[in-house]
Structure 1
């Protein structure tokens, strides 16, 4: 093998190892900061629990997955069950009585002064 190939392969391996190490450090830091925020909320009387919190997304992002989150507010009456996050909308669509998850664009939405979507008057282009 040529010497330049060995140097290039070594450099690539070093970059991958540094990136992976940085990602794992950052995921641990995110986990620690989430714990600090949750402890701060608990000190104020609001508890937030997750059935299984995971941080995933290697190599290019951090995703915090909190399954079955339960939030108990400090001022909630004792007779009420803890607040839960709503279930995600079904993939097949929603029932006619429930609101549509898709939002229509607001007619007052503003773009910058001159763009290809708006005329000079700020109206959407046909």
Structure 2
């Protein structure tokens, strides 16, 4: 299956929670990640992507552990105006690739996967979505 099928399915699921997400945004972000992985000539792309996801989900910008659920809000609730676009997100991935190579502590802990996200609600099942060829149409 092509990248479009996966992006179509993920965009469909994301739209249930974030109205401003669309298939083109997801596709542009995925293509940006893949482009940076190819430019860096990585051999462990799955490991790098998993570690990047781990850090984006579990660590905030200051380096402190991220709490998804607070007393009155959830980090999964989204914001009124989008904080990031596909191009900016893909650009933020590039430095992570190079930092990952020089800082072993950036690797996701052994055995970590999305199902271990505390208070992750629907996000924990996101990587396990069933994708078919028709999702990209």
Structures share fold, TM-score greater than 0.5: no
For the pair shown, which has the larger CA radius of gyration, 1 or 2?
A: 1
Provide the TM-score with structure 2 as the length reference. 0.25
